[in-house]
Amino acid sequence: MMLRLLLADLWALFFPRPCLACHEPLVAGEAHLCTNCRAELPYTDYHLLPPDQNPLARRFWGKIPVRHTLSYLRFLRHGRVQELLHQLKYKGQSQVGSALGQLYGAELAAAGLGQEFDLIVPVPLHRRKLARRGYNQADAFATGLAAALTCPSAAHALRRTEHTASQTRKGRAARWQNVATVFEVAEPKAVAGRRILLVDDVLTTGATLEACGAALLAAGAQTVSIATIAS
Ligand SMILES: [Zn+2]
């Protein structure tokens, strides 16, 4: 054990792993993100606001009831957050998702939200995209959150029913309808009566999360909350 730790330290000394956000070499005690990035990431802190002052919650008003609307970081172009999401989605770095999930989950627990959820459910990826990427980036985030919140996650509670690659060519209304028809609850027993934390990597229009939330509520979920890495 001691020898293995020593070898790991030596390995890290000669081949330091880079920070996933800025690519500077990590030093002892740092994992995934350097201390500088940890300090300077644009945290939303929406979980510390009263619900009526949470700007993200407004996106879902009049659409579906959302108990907690949470997002870890503000999406800023050409910055650390865009780089983290790029690593997560296009560079095979699934540990970005789990690391951010663990960090955020620890913050949520510290803010008293640790007992608010019974089940964590990631937005599913279409199986063709899943095959190409090898993992679902939303599930990577869900896994980290689940570990920090000591709450189970169910990667297959929701599923997609058809491909949505043609979405960008459609108008806004048609796009929503298209999304709304592509999610269904695959595990109704796991969802019924539960307080669900629905998670995705990025919240943009909110249409995908809205469609998933509606499907979960229709299947008998007690409440739906939402958490994303960035918005
Ligand atoms: Zn860094």
- What are 109-164's pLDDT values in tens digits? 999 999 999 999 999 998 888 999 999 999 999 999 999 999 999 999 999 986 55
pLDDT of 172 > 90? The answer is: no
| Residue 179 CA, ligand 1 centroid: distance in Å | 36
The CA 154 to ligand 1 mean position distance, Å, reads 31
Look at residues 114, 104, 120 and name the one whose alpha carbon lies nearest to residue 70.
104
Is the model's pLDDT at 5 over the cut of 90? no
The contacts of residue 195 (CB under 8 Å, 6+ apart) are 67, 116, 117, 118, 119, 221, 222, 223, 225
CA angle 20, 25, 135 (to 5 degrees): 25
pLDDT given for residue 94 in this prediction:
94
At residue 8, does pLDDT exceed 90?
Answer: no
pLDDT of residue 111: 96
CA of 170 to the centre of ligand 1 (A): 39
Q: Which of 3-7, 202-206, 219-223 has the highest mean pLDDT?
A: 219-223
Q: Residue 170: which pLDDT band, with cuts at 50, 70 and 90?
A: low
Task: Please tell me the pTM assigned to this model.
Answer: 0.86
**DSSP class of 161:** -
Phi–psi pair at 148, nearest 5 degrees: -75, -30
| Sole residue written with tokens 């959820």 | 117
pLDDT value at position 57? 94
Bridge partners (DSSP) listed for residue 198? 121, 226
Confidence (pLDDT) at 161: 83
Torsion of CA 131, 135, 138, 141, to 10 degrees: 180
pLDDT of 171 > 80? The answer is no
How many Å apart are CA 112 and CA 121, to the nearest integer?
20
Residues with C-beta atoms within 5 A of ion ligand 1? 19, 21-22, 34, 37
Ligand 1 centroid to residue 175 C-alpha, Å: 37
Q: How far is the CA of 14 from the centre of ligand 1 (A)?
A: 19
- Whether residue 86 has pLDDT greater than 90: yes
Q: Does residue 219 register a pLDDT over 80?
A: yes
- How close is the Cα of 43 to the center of ligand 1, in Å? 15
Find the angle CA(61)-CA(62)-CA(64) to the nearest 5 degrees. 80
User: Cα torsion at 148, 87, 136, 140 (round to 10°)?
Assistant: -10
pLDDT-derived band at 7 (thresholds 50, 70, 90) equals confident
Q: What per-residue confidence (pLDDT) applies to 15?
A: 72
